[in-house]
């Protein structure tokens, strides 16, 4: 049986890559995504691939202090009471989870590659969150499908590329490797769209679409499937080129969203990078 039903895949294809789209999936009860399995995974991943924070975060933060990684497996097993947010990053490092990622994304590969070309840098992340936990306001450089496995959450999602919610300078700072949390102002909240997720539901999130997440009254497990495209890399490189222009006093135009390709600026930055590396 397919994980994403045919109707869901067809509707995803008509919205990808720019329109957020809520999907359904049949991944409930998968043994690799149960709490004990995730606790064991947390204990065997490299330390740099595991993040543990307090679940009681504000929507906007300058820096999220990490909790100790001691007894991380127990934190996951007791997530109902631990008041924590645990992120397991690049879980495809584990062969079982690598197979799961490939299985899931292979179902959507024809629809994805028909629009944005070859899928690049396939990665997967798992988030285990205590009741009421908050993931602060941020954006991500990947195309992303977030599958809700256990519990519920509400994502408040803002339009990608709209400088009212994330200024161009923040995009540029992010792409050159400095990745601060996005500044938050309460007056921005009406510009977001609340999207609720329950087990069996998933949400496609466009590249660099700002968002924050609130977990519901029960512990939450979510699986994030991510990939890059040549379009996403060109948009990122165009942002870096803009940062160079800004340093010499030019106020550059923002890179355009898909289907514009941003190749002139992207190729300009790539040429500079090649010359600088010689």
Q: Residue 10's domain is classified under what CATH number?
A: 2.60.120.650
Greater confidence (179 vs 244) lies with 244
Total count of domains within the chain: 2
The answer to whether residues 224 and 238 belong to one domain is no
* pLDDT tens sequence across 43-55: 999 999 999 999 8
- pLDDT of 121 > 90? The answer is yes
The answer to whether residues 110 and 42 belong to one domain is yes
Mean pLDDT of the chain: 94
The answer to whether residues 90 and 142 belong to one domain is yes
Residue 22 included in any domain: yes
Smallest CA-to-CA distance from 179 within 138, 124, 127, 234 is with 138
Domain end marker among 228, 243, 265: 228
Residue 263 included in any domain: yes
The answer to whether residues 45 and 162 belong to one domain is yes
The answer to whether residues 130 and 224 belong to one domain is yes
Average pLDDT over residues 146-170: 97
Percent of the chain with pLDDT over 90: 89
Residue 241 included in any domain: yes
Q: How far apart are CA 150 and CA 35, in angstroms?
A: 10
Domain end marker among 195, 210, 228: 228
Domain that holds residue 112: 6-228
Report the range of poorest mean pLDDT among 67-76, 97-106, 134-143, 174-183: 67-76
**What pLDDT sits at residue 28?**
87
The answer to whether residues 141 and 269 belong to one domain is no
Residue 1 included in any domain: no
* pLDDT tens sequence across 75-86: 999 999 999 999
Residue 269 included in any domain: yes
- pLDDT of 8 > 60? The answer is yes
Cβ–Cβ < 8 Å for 226, 174:
no
The answer to whether residues 213 and 237 belong to one domain is no
The answer to whether residues 199 and 104 belong to one domain is yes
* pLDDT tens sequence across 176-207: 987 767 899 999 999 999 999 999 999 999 99
The answer to whether residues 29 and 54 belong to one domain is yes
Residue 168 included in any domain: yes
* pLDDT tens sequence across 19-29: 999 999 999 88
Q: How far apart are CA 132 and CA 145, in angstroms?
A: 22
Average pLDDT over residues 227-241: 98
The answer to whether residues 38 and 152 belong to one domain is yes
Q: How far apart are CA 179 and CA 9, in angstroms?
A: 33
Residue 266 included in any domain: yes
Q: For residues 53-62, b (16+ Cβ closer than 10 Å) or e, as one string? A: bbbebebbbe
Cβ–Cβ < 8 Å for 64, 87:
no
Question: Which residues, other chains included, contact 37 with Cβ-Cβ below 8 Å and sequence gap of 6+?
Answer: 31
What are the two backbone dihedrals, phi and then psi, of residue 79, each rounded to the nearest 5 degrees?
-60, -25
Question: Which residues, other chains included, contact 90 with Cβ-Cβ below 8 Å and sequence gap of 6+?
Answer: 45, 49, 123, 124, 125
**What pLDDT sits at residue 63?**
60
Report the range of poorest mean pLDDT among 66-70, 74-78, 114-118: 66-70
**What pLDDT sits at residue 69?**
58
Residue 42 included in any domain: yes
Cβ–Cβ < 8 Å for 161, 253:
no
The answer to whether residues 154 and 27 belong to one domain is yes
The answer to whether residues 24 and 89 belong to one domain is yes
How wide is the angle at C-alpha 49 spanned by C-alphas 172 and 125, nearest 5°?
75
- pLDDT of 211 > 80? The answer is yes
């Amino acid at each position: 049986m397919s994980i994403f039903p045919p109707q869901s895949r067809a509707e995803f294809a008509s919205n990808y890559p720019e329109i957020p789209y809520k999907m359904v999936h049949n991944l409930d009860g998968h043994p690799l995504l149960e709490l004990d399995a995730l606790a064991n995974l947390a204990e065997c991943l490299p330390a740099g691939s595991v993040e543990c924070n307090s679940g009681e975060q504000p929507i906007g933060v300058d820096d999220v202090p990490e909790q100790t990684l001691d007894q991380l497996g127990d934190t996951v097993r007791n997530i109902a009471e631990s008041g924590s947010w645990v992120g397991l990053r690049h879980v495809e490092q584990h062969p079982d989870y690598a197979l799961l990622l490939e299985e899931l994304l292979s179902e959507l590969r024809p629809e994805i590659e028909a629009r944005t070309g070859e899928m690049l840098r396939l990665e997967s992340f798992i988030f285990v969150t205590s009741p009421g936990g908050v993931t602060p306001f941020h954006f991500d450089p990947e195309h992303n499908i977030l599958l809700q496995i256990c519990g519920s959450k509400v994502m408040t999602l803002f339009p990608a590329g709209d400088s009212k919610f994330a200024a161009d300078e923040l995009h540029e700072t992010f792409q050159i490797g400095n990745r601060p949390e996005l500044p938050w102002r309460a007056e921005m909240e009406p510009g977001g769209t609340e999207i609720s997720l329950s087990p069996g539901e998933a949400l496609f999130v466009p590249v660099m679409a700002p968002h924050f997440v609130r977990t519901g009254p029960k512990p939450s497990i979510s699986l994030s499937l991510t990939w890059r495209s040549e379009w996403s890399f060109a948009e990122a490189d165009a942002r870096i080129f803009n940062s160079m222009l800004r340093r010499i006093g030019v106020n550059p135009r923002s890179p355009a969203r898909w289907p514009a390709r941003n190749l002139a600026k992207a190729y300009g930055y790539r040429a500079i990078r090649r010359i600088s590396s010689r």
